[in-house]
Chain A
Amino acid sequence: MSLQLRNIRLPLADFALETDAMFDWPITGIFGPSGAGKTSLLDLIAGLRRPVAGAVKLDDKVIFDAANRLNLPPRLRRIGYVPQDLALFPHLKVRANLLYGYRPALIENELFTLGHVAGVMEITPLLERNVTTLSGGEQQRVAFARAILSAPRLLLLDEPMSSLDSRLKKRLIPFLLRIRDEFRIPLIYVTHDAAELVALCDEVLMLERGQLIGRGSPADVLA
């Protein structure tokens, strides 16, 4: 998988997000202070916000091109998204949340079945529970599983562990690595936690006030 952002410009409240970047690692981290434009960057990749200029290409398919007025809607992009607040649908049980984006027609192998994904994420006993009754860590794994079951070509994770303590974070990291290794879904992982970057990411992009100010391995960027 490769994601290419070309001359993107997205005006935000105080500054404009301007990026030109290629994402071709299994897990790319986006690191930066609060308000740097990290969530807006994920939103525009997912198709939830529309830049005023530039183009976005996923593998060999252009999914956004301002010059040609091309804007593939989010539902057709096959880009999964786990936001900071997880956005589990509170009126649906775990099973219904997981099956919301389940697309059997897109499944290329038996990995992407409810039983297997629930098993990998260790949420099988939770399927009939209401999502509002789950613990923080359980909600996290349900959100990951829901995104996996939509068979995305790329998964965006926006500080998904920011509300958890360090013990729970450590416990969840293997689950994220299994998304990469077992389901072969590339991840773009937004965080401002250096320990998460080191544990998860192959490459890190530094974002500040909408500008990419550096990139490299976690060790290089954090040095």
Chain B
Amino acid sequence: MTAEAWQIVFFTIEVSALSTLLILPLGVAVAWLIARREWPGKAVVETMAMLPLFVPPVATGLLLLMLFSRRGPLGSMLQRGFGWDIVFTWRAVVLACAVMSFPLLVRTAQAAFEGVSARFEDIARTLGASEWRVFATISLPLAARGIVAGAVLAFARAMGEFGATAIVAGMIPRKTMTISLSIYQNIQLGHDAAALPLLFVSIGIVFITVLCGQIITMRKRPR
């Protein structure tokens, strides 16, 4: 593999890991709120969190482009507040990966929280624990394996993200080029041989990642 191909691989791993870390706190919070609380608008939020799974990725990319371009409502705010450009930068790649992998994290973490017996949480309350302590010391540790498995899935999804990234970040060499984008570009240019190493590396990374997720999920855990 060329130095450029390795740069693409490491860049893809970095943005995938960063996007997973970014969505982790929000994803866990949303998953817990859906699994454990009744509140007005819950069904709407639950549906919205799942939308990226079903809306065409390029449509999601277009929406992100409209929101985060310099003239967009969020993009202009970030530009004014922090001097950040989002669209067609590495930040756009992270953003697209985060949005597209969010539903996988939420769904898996939600199932993990639902799998924790509510009786443990009830008894912790009778032992004097505040709601925050119940979450931090009972719900979260008992759901931890499911949450880690969700994060692994989100990372794997981010590794393979293409449609939304292509629209909102473009295919700029050494700036926004990920494995998926590079494979696509090489094939478009007729450089199939250059795409092959990236293909195998990408399959290898995702295989190991998903396998780790499966092992974590399958390991017997106390209930």
| A residues apposed to B, CB below 8 Å | 43, 46-48, 73-81, 83, 85, 87, 89-91, 100-101, 103, 132, 146-147, 150
Contact = CB atoms under 8 A, between A and B. Distances in A.
A147 B124 CA distance: 10
A74 B125 contact: yes
A82 to B, nearest CB: 8
A74 B120 contact: no
Interface of B: 117, 119-120, 122-130, 137-138, 141-142, 222-223
B128 A75 contact: yes
Nearest to A48: B122
Contacts of B130: 75
Rank and list the top 10 A-B pairs by shortest CB-CB distance, nearest first. Answer: A101-B127, A90-B222, A74-B125, A87-B123, A81-B126, A87-B119, A75-B128, A74-B126, A150-B127, A48-B122
Contacts of A43: 122
Most chain-A Cβ atoms within 10 A of its Cβ — which of B128, B141, B142? B128
Contact of A91 (B117, B125, B126, B142): B142
A14 B129 CA distance: 32
Contacts of B137: 100
A43 B119 CA distance: 11
Nearest to B117: A87
**Residue with the greatest number of chain B CB neighbours at <10 A, chosen from A47, A79, A83, A89:** A89
B107 to A, nearest CB: 23
Contacts of A47: 125-126
B129 A101 contact: yes
30 contacts: A43-B122, A46-B122, A47-B125, A48-B126, A74-B125, A75-B126, A75-B129, A75-B130, A76-B128, A81-B123, A83-B119, A83-B123, A85-B117, A85-B119, A87-B117, A87-B119, A87-B123, A89-B120, A89-B124, A90-B142, A90-B223, A91-B142, A91-B222, A100-B127, A100-B129, A100-B137, A101-B124, A132-B222, A150-B127, A150-B128
A85 B123 CA distance: 11
Contacts of A147: 127
A29 to B, nearest CB: 20
B11 to A, nearest CB: 37
Given A74-B122, A91-B141, A147-B127, 7 more contacts: A46-B122, A75-B125, A80-B126, A83-B123, A89-B120, A100-B129, A101-B129
B141 A100 contact: no
A168 to B, nearest CB: 22
A73 B128 contact: no
Given A75-B130, A83-B119, A85-B119, A48 B125 contact: yes
Nearest to B124: A100
Contacts of B126: 46-48, 74-75, 77, 79-81, 101, 150
Contacts of A48: 122, 125-126
Nearest to B125: A74
Contacts of B125: 47-48, 73-75
